[in-house]
Amino acid sequence: MNRKMGTSIFVYFCFFMWLYFAIYESSIDNWWTVLEITQETDHIVDIEVSLVKLLIGTIIFTISGFLINLLLSNLPIKD
């Protein structure tokens, strides 16, 4: 498998793991969550996924994947 494909698969896997844990396994108090309180009353709290936090996380993973790809492309290939 070439390096670009391996890097892409690794970054996509990490992104989807983060997305799963940021939505389903986190609480509002975690810094890495994508959840936000949209409406709060005495008995009811509405929690939704923040599109801004989701977009920021997507941009971070895209940039980190690009940087990992650049770093790995400069390494010599051992045959």
* pLDDT tens, residue by residue, 33-72: 999 988 888 899 899 999 999 999 999 999 999 999 898 8
| Residue 30, pLDDT score | 87
- Give 21's pLDDT tier (boundaries 50, 70, 90): very high
- Tokens 């895209």 map to which residue? 62
How many C-beta atoms lie closer than 10 Å to residue 22's C-beta? 19
In this structure, are residues 31 and 78 in contact, taking their beta carbons and an 8 Å threshold?
no
Q: What is the mean pLDDT of residues 23-29?
A: 89
pLDDT, position 1: 61
Q: Report pLDDT for 10.
A: 92
Q: Which residues are paired to 35 by β-bridges?
A: 49
pTM: 0.81
